[in-house]
Amino acid sequence: MLTSKVKKTKMFKKIGIKLIWVVGITAVIIIAIFSFYNIRSHSNALLAEVERHANQLSETVKHSTRYDMLLNQRDRVHTIINTIGQQPGIQDVRVLNKVGEIIYSSHEQDIGKMVDKKAESCYACHTANEPLERLQIKERTRIFRPNPDSARVMGIITPIYNEHSCWEADCHAHEKNQTVLGVLDVTISLSDVDAQIKQGELDTVIFAFSAVIVFSLLLWFVIKKWVDNPVKELLNATHEVGTGNLNYTIQEKSDDEFGLLAKSFNNMTQKLSEARIQLFQSDKMASLGRLAAGVAHEINNPLTGVLTYSSFLLKKTQDNSDLNEDLKVIVRETKRSREIVKSLLDFARQSVPKKNLVNINEVIEKGITVIENQLSINHVQLKKDFAKDLPQSTLDSNQMQQVFINLLVNASDAVGPKGGSINISTDLIKLSPYGITHIKKATCPKRHDLMNNEVKIDGMPSIKLKVYSNGTSAFIYLDPVYGRNHHKIDIDLNSKNLKVVCPQCEISLINPDKKCPECNSSVYSLEVPSQGNIEGCISKTCDWQKWDAVDADGQKDYLEIKISDTGCGIPRENLSKIFEPFYSTKGQKGTGLGLSVIWGIIDNHNGTIKVDSELNKGTTFTIHLPAGKS
Amino acid sequence: MKKDWDILVVDDEQVVIDAVVKICSSEGYTVDTAIDAKEALQKFGHNNYTLVICDIMMPEIDGFGFLDELHNRKISSAVIMTTGFSTVENAVKSLYTGAIDFIPKPFTTDELINSVLRGMKYIRIQNSVKSYKREDSEIPYVPCPAKYYRLGYSSWVAEDNTGSVLIGATDLFIKTIENLTGVELFQIDEEVVQGNACAFIIDKEERKHPLLSPVSGRIIEVNNDIIKNKNLIEKDPYFEGWFYRLIPSDSEYELRNLINCSSDRM
């Protein structure tokens, strides 16, 4: 298990790195191409600028020396050329005549030297055998290195054309038929430009590298946060669930696919856990059934011996009143044992109570006599506060006795060996049906049963309805207690196209003529067999419900029985669970069935039981049972 | 020559055998015993028994297997079933497979004696059916009408067109009780369970005879006429003498354990 986990983590890491590789390399290529073109256009722009500058300079030299040339004032031409040639960045300013002799130069030692036609400055025009006379600016510039180890230079040649005033001047230096008289050659050092280009290149490369690094880091961080961690969490969760911890939940941090995955994972484990509990419980129930059957069979045979012999004796000793009375006790108590064994079997089969008219106070008294000894051993003081003149009520006295014995034993256990007190009181009260009456059966107009045993609310089967909202369908489960109306649902119920239908026949359950008097939402209407219709608001936030048949009865008399102890109390988080089957805090001592059986018995009598408890102060069970004949 | 006994008790519990022997002997019956079904079947080779009181849960052959074997051998003794595992299913299955009565353990002396008395009367009636000829003025008992269903021979159920059902006691059952003097009924809204007592018929000696309900359900109407006029149960048990109107809880399932009266003919 552990090795596979490590392997999986490693494998995942590879996936993460793969992602970083792919995205990183793509980024590097894009940035490299971008940088390459950026550097090239940058240096081109710089060179063009230098070229424009050189051309301008040449034109300036040509124009500023023109007049002096016309007047053949060579000294002045020299001075101008020298002055310009000494400007920083300007390497050389030369004027060549037609045959290639340097006649002016900013470097005086060059004056008088001949330049080969194959030299840099002549090459452009003299490539062809006949020299060209007109050249474009592009063809007039060239970039070269005078020596292999020196900085690059840019040269620009500007032809000096023959003009009218040249051949008419007094010096007669030029013939009329000449086109080009000479060439002005300006060379400019590119060392600054080259340095700038180099700097640009360096900047771009640094930028590219930092971009790639930052990008990769960001990518790594994002993958770690949004992919790596959630996947690790999920792996961890699957591992936990795999080893049997079905209560493990993943924090649903994000709304992305991983968040959804986590949500669906939690949902899955919850369903699994519920299914497991149900399976476990039905298994327990089945073995309990077998146990009950075995016990019933085994105990009923000896009981038959006791009951037959004692009742036989009872018949025979009708004239002996002393013996007769004692035998009556044996017969009565054996019959009671018979009922207890039967209810054990019935519990496994959830049978209906056998009700007759009894006074609840007498039932409680009978229960108390059974456990009086146990209470006094535990130093428990029992205070009774029974209301007089309680009406006779329709109850199964055996089952009710079981309820009180169970609750008193629980109370006594809670008080513990140190002692304390238990209060038991009865009273007759009036309760309105709203918030109390349990809807045990509800149908659609076509009489399909809407009760659902799979989803229980507070232990009672819910009412299942189907809802269509904006094209999606879902089920809602209503609380079966009249007046609570809470929905178990996760669909938007406020939509306008809401339809509520019977899950079996899809007949609409919405009453189109009615709106909720509290929030004006739609109203559903369900049939309760032989008890009219119950209506309720479909809004999730509204509790409005109306059940005319039950309301018409008005307030009803209820027996209220309170059993409170000064014991250890029940922690708040356990209060909701205590009526669930097999919930027990008594460990080996209890079966965990006691309170769930009590709940079932009270429910079978159409009553309610609730619990209030404060830790270390005590617990109070309050039972409400319909009073009088039912 | 086979010996004639009144009762054979078959039970794997000695204390139960002893108790039944004691009680039945005190009522003047001759009682034989067997510790299991095998021994009981062997005894049928040598003797005749009017009534058999038989446990269901026994090693090797259980009560139902024993009942089948009696049927295969065409032995017409009446069988009363009893078991410590007294579930509705066992009660109903016993009556469906041909037992005339079912007594859940533990039982009292009276419960046993009443059942035995009814069983003896049942046998007498069945014997008179054998000798019955059409010319005879009085028929031994009126069989259940067609379309009715019955639980064993004791109670009947008839479907009503309103979705409810009527239940009552069969003429044969009433006839096994001598001189009916009263009836104890359940109240409206009480639940009855198939195979469990739903009423008690009291005879002139104050004996209470339980009527086992043919179906489970909630009582919605009690026939008060039979309280006022007890003769109604004897005179018209299938129509005016009905006991309760019920809302059945699972009639489809429960009907499978009932006998269709359409084939009942004298």
Q: Show the 3-state SS of A370-428.
A: HHHHHHHHCCEEEEEECCCCCCCEEECHHHHHHHHHHHHHHHHHHHCCCCEEEEEEEEE
pLDDT score of A568 more than 60: yes
Would you state the pLDDT for residue A591? 46
- Residue where the block lists tokens 């460990």: A587
Note whether B219 and B187 are within 8 A (CB): yes
Q: Do A311 and B86 touch (CB under 8 A)?
A: no
The answer to whether B101 and B121 are in contact (CB under 8 A) is no
Residue B245: enclosing H or E segment and its boundaries?
strand B244-248
Q: What is the mean pLDDT of chain A?
A: 80
pLDDT digits (tens, 9 = 90+) for B159-181: 877 778 899 999 999 999 988 88
Beta bridge partners of A561: A426, A623
Asked whether the beta carbons of residue A300 and residue B110 sit closer than 8 angstroms, the reply is no
Q: Does A7 have pLDDT greater than 70?
A: no
pLDDT single digits (tens) B177-205: 988 888 999 988 787 888 889 999 999 88
* B260 and B234 Cβ atoms separated by less than 8 Å: no
CA distance A487 to A23: 49
In this structure, what CATH number is given to the domain that contains residue B17? 3.40.50.2300
Give the bridge partners for A464, in sequence order: A477
The rounded distance, in Å, linking the Cα atoms of A487 and A484 is 9
The verdict on B16 touching A (C-beta cutoff 8 Å) is yes
Cα separation, A123 vs A202, in Å, equals 35
- Give CB contacts under 8 A, 24+ apart, made by A485-488: A485/A536, A485/A537, A485/A542, A485/A543, A485/A544, A485/A545, A486/A457, A486/A543, A487/A540, A488/A455, A488/A457, A488/A462
pTM of the model: 0.48
Q: In the A/B pair of chains, how many CB contacts fall below 8 A?
A: 85
Which residue in A297, A302, A307 is closest to B108 by CB distance?
A307
pLDDT higher than threshold 50 for residue A464: yes
Residue A216 above 50 pLDDT?
Answer: yes
pLDDT band at residue B43 using 50, 70 and 90 as cut-offs: very high
Mean pLDDT of A429-449: 80
Q: Is residue B84 part of a domain?
A: yes
CB contact under 8 A, A349 and B190: no
| Beta strand B78-83 pairing with B101-104 | parallel
- Asked, for residue B135, whether it belongs to a domain, the answer is no
- B56-95 pLDDT, tens digit per residue, is 988 888 899 999 999 999 888 999 999 887 777 788 888 8
Residues of A in contact with B107 (CB under 8 A): 304, 307-308
Please give the angle made by the CA atoms of B177, B265 and B132, to the nearest 5 degrees: 65
> Closest approach of chain A CAs to the CA of B203, in angstroms?
18
Segment A496-536, tens digit of pLDDT? 677 888 888 888 888 888 888 888 888 888 888 777 888 88
- pLDDT, mean of residues B117-131: 89
**Overall number of domains in chain B:** 2
The domain boundary residue, chosen from B85, B100, B130? B130
Of the candidates B84, B100, B130, which is a domain's last residue?
Answer: B130
Per DSSP, the three-state class of B33 is strand
Both B112 and B184 in one domain: the answer is no
Residue B70's SS3 state is helix
Q: Which chain A residues touch B86 with a CB distance below 8 Å? A: 296, 300, 342, 345
The answer to whether position B77 is within a domain reads yes
pLDDT value of residue A351: 46
Q: What are the chain A neighbours of B108 within 8 Å (beta carbons)?
A: 307-308, 311, 331, 335
Q: Which of A548, A256, A598 is nearest to A401 (CA)?
A: A598
Contact B74, B48 (CB under 8 A): no
pLDDT at A458: 67
- The pLDDT value recorded for residue A588 is 44
Taking the CA of residue B107 and the nearest CA in chain A, the distance in Å comes to 6
Pair (B119, B171) in one structural domain: no
φ, ψ of residue B157 to 5 degrees: the values are -135, 140
Question: Are B107 and A306 inside 8 Å of each other by CB?
Answer: no
| CATH number, residue B172 | 2.40.50.100
Residue B139 lies in a domain: no
Q: What is the largest CA-CA distance in chain A?
A: 183
- Span A28-63, pLDDT tens digits: 898 889 888 988 898 889 888 888 888 888 888 888
Q: Which carries the bigger pLDDT value, residue A160 or residue A458?
A: A160
Stretch B17-31: mean pLDDT: 93
Structural domain that includes position B220: 149-263
Answer yes or no: do B106 and A304 touch at CB < 8 A.
yes
- Are residues B111 and B8 located together in one domain of the fold? yes
- Are B177 and B96 within one domain? no
Q: Is residue B120 part of a domain?
A: yes
- CA dihedral (A367, A370, A373, A379) in degrees, to 10, reads -20
> Domain boundary at B130, B161, B192, which?
B130
What was the pLDDT predicted at B116?
A: 95
Question: How many Å lie between the alpha carbon of B84 and the closest alpha carbon of chain A?
Answer: 4
Q: Is A377 exposed, middle or buried (0-12, 13-18, 19+ CB in 10 A)?
A: exposed
> Residue A394 forms beta bridges with which residues?
A357
Question: Does residue B144 form part of some domain?
Answer: no
Q: Which residues of A touch B (CB under 8 A)?
A: 293, 296-309, 311-312, 314-315, 331, 334-335, 338, 342, 345, 349, 351-353, 355, 630
User: What average pLDDT does range A318-347 have in this prediction?
Assistant: 84
At position B232, the amino acid (one-letter code) is L
Pick the more confident residue, A84 or A125.
A84
